[in-house]
Chains A and B, each alone.
Chain A
Amino acid sequence: MKLFMFLAAMCLPTFGVASEQYITLASTTSTQNSGLYDQILPKFTATTGIEVRVVAVGTGQALRIAKNGDADVLLVHHRPSEDAFVEDGFGVQRYDVMYNDFVIVGPNDDPAGVAIARSVAEAMVALYDTETIFISRGDESGTHKKERSLWAEAARNPSGSWYREIGAGMGAALNMASAVDGYTLTDRGTWLSFQNRGNLDLLFMGKNSLLNPYGVIVVNKELHPHIKSELAQRFVDWLISEAGQAAIGDVRIHGKQLFCPNASGQDQAKNKACPAS
């Protein structure tokens, strides 16, 4: 009993945390693994005193967490899901924040000939026809949803032992692609920060056809009264402000820019400083 009381006392600080100023952000592994939050959040906390607690999961799970009211704000990358989230009343409004692009990576000898494809559809057809190993996320993440839409655009329905749905995160997919000399679709941020490349090389960039836009949404307080919508809105306001956008544009890994801020609604294709162009 004494032990129990001792333990309860030790747990108290964690109950007490609730009174401090913090918000919970449900987001994607791609943004966390690339180091985005490590670089921009300290700047936000320094200006506002609000701590941001990031729970990084796949886009599908992030949406689920936000729907349950377990996060105050959502930052993900699958436009149709984001719009549905707002339409269904779970979110207040979606804001553009930033974008980068998806790329196809694979073994550097490129047996499928993806590097010489003239369009992303052609690249997908090449992968399909040569039946070279392709690692699919298979986890309803933003990247997985994008991949499915690419197959649909190429009018191919992949199946067979070469097409491996692993049901795991981007890092796990890259690790596996690296281990078996397979291809995979990845966002550029995760790819740039990924350390275990082995024989993998960036083989195909789709420019405008493979844009990967991120949106931010405050969870609707009307559905979940405890949502800290005021603090969350301040976070969103900061993200799309000049200071926040500059902080995002400043994020570098190995000297390369990771994300292109686009909250001001500037034409994405014309933003020359960005990795997508």
Chain B
Amino acid sequence: MESLSKAVQLIVAADPDLVAIVGLSLFVSLSATILASCMAIPLGGLLATYKFAGRRVILIFASSFMALPPVVVGLAVYLLLSRSGPLGSLGLLFTPTAMIIAQTCLIFPIVLVLSMEAVKPLARDYDRLMSAMDVPPFLRLRTLIWDARFGIFTALLAGFGRALAEVGAVIIVGGNINGLTRVMTTTIALETSKGNLQLAMALGLVLIFLALLVNSAIHAIARVGKKYEVTR
């Protein structure tokens, strides 16, 4: 209860440090979601529409990687971006960019598998019609992805939720640097380790509130979209 009132206070006061942390959280996780989607949605559509060699292997790997612990992803990206690693010369470690890369890797399999599942039933339904009309492959893919967009939305939300909630990857590649790479989840971890359990819990509630806000916004957009379609 104390945490709840503290959470309300934090939101109402709009403390500049907190606003910056919340902003970075949103920026990193939204960027990762967009980046992952740019790659995962077309690939998911492809996997749902066409049968090709290696498809099953990709699927098995993708579904397994959905269970990847964030710490492992963080460690892999750390080794990649470390000055002693293959991409060390870019100097990206301990920057928000590194955090976006890690979260993109983390949620890519989730968006991939879920968007494939969203396209699959449509691909089955449309198959005969599209074959009969001799629709070229690219147009076929585009049509299917567009028509499955509400299911794909859910895939995006799942990916975004996972990105926003994880702490293991960003704390390793970001370093939880005050004012630079500190996000909501790493702040919560830090405050917990200081024994500030009330504040940590309050920040947790702020995070939930944030997720609520983003989700409601997306749902509202989706609803408006659906209505528009019906009346069209």
| Chain A interface residues toward B at CB < 8 A | 1, 3-4, 7, 10-11, 14-15, 17-18, 24, 29, 32-33, 37-38, 53-56, 67-70, 169-172, 174-175, 178, 193-197, 224, 226
Chain B 103-127 interface residues, beta-carbon cutoff 8 Å to A: none
Contact A193/B194 with A14-B95, A56-B176 known, Cβ cut-off 8 Å: yes
- Interface SS majority for chain A: helix
Q: Which residues of A contact B177 (CB under 8 A)?
A: 53-55
Q: How far is the CB of B188 from the nearest CB of chain A, in Å?
A: 12
How distant is the Cα of A170 from the Cα of B83 in the complex, in angstroms? 28
B193 touches A169 (CB 8 A): yes
Q: Which residues of B contact A196 (CB under 8 A)?
A: 195-197
B91 touches A195 (CB 8 A): no
Q: Which residue of chain A has the shortest Cβ distance to B93 in the bound complex? A: A70
B35 touches A195 (CB 8 A): no
Q: Which residue of chain B has the shortest Cβ distance to A15 in the bound complex? A: B97
A4 touches B38 (CB 8 A): yes
Contact A170/B94 with A54-B177, A68-B82, A224-B83 known, Cβ cut-off 8 Å: no
0/1 string, B77-88, CB within 8 A of A gives 1? 000001111001
Contact A226/B194 with A68-B84, A70-B82 known, Cβ cut-off 8 Å: no
Contact A55/B82 with A7-B31, A196-B197, A197-B195 known, Cβ cut-off 8 Å: no
The verdict on B192 contacting chain A, using a C-beta distance below 8 Å, is: yes
Chain B 194-224 interface residues, beta-carbon cutoff 8 Å to A: 194-197
The verdict on B19 contacting chain A, using a C-beta distance below 8 Å, is: no
Chain B 3-55 interface residues, beta-carbon cutoff 8 Å to A: 27, 31, 34-35, 38
CB contact between A195 and one of B38, B100, B175, B194 (< 8 Å): that residue = B194
Q: Which residue of chain A has the shortest Cβ distance to B81 in the bound complex? A: A70
A24 touches B94 (CB 8 A): yes
Q: Which residue of chain B has the shortest Cβ distance to A32 in the bound complex? A: B190
A171 touches B194 (CB 8 A): yes
CB contact between B192 and one of A18, A171, A197 (< 8 Å): that residue = A171
CB contact between A170 and one of B31, B84, B93, B193 (< 8 Å): that residue = B193
Q: Which residue of chain B has the shortest Cβ distance to A168 in the bound complex? A: B193
Contact A7/B35 with A14-B96, A226-B83 known, Cβ cut-off 8 Å: yes
Q: Which residues of B contact A11 (CB under 8 A)?
A: 31, 96-97, 100
Q: Which residues of A contact B197 (CB under 8 A)?
A: 175, 195-196
B192 touches A53 (CB 8 A): no
The verdict on B231 contacting chain A, using a C-beta distance below 8 Å, is: no
How distant is the Cα of A14 from the Cα of B88 in the complex, in angstroms? 16
A53 touches B195 (CB 8 A): no
B83 touches A69 (CB 8 A): yes
A69 touches B88 (CB 8 A): yes
Q: Which residues of A contact B175 (CB under 8 A)?
A: 24, 53, 55
0/1 string, B147-183, CB within 8 A of A gives 1? 0000000000000000000000000000111101000
A68 touches B83 (CB 8 A): yes
Q: Which residues of B contact A175 (CB under 8 A)?
A: 192-193, 195, 197
Most buried by A among B83, B95, B100: B83
Q: Which residue of chain A has the shortest Cβ distance to B79 in the bound complex? A: A68
Contact A195/B195 with A3-B34, A54-B177 known, Cβ cut-off 8 Å: yes
Q: Which residues of B contact A169 (CB under 8 A)?
A: 193
Q: Which residues of A contact B88 (CB under 8 A)?
A: 69
Most buried by B among A10, A67, A224: A10
Known: A7-B34, A193-B194. 18 other contacts (CB 8 A): A4-B35, A4-B38, A14-B95, A33-B193, A53-B94, A56-B176, A67-B84, A68-B85, A69-B88, A70-B82, A171-B194, A175-B195, A175-B197, A178-B195, A195-B196, A196-B195, A196-B196, A226-B83
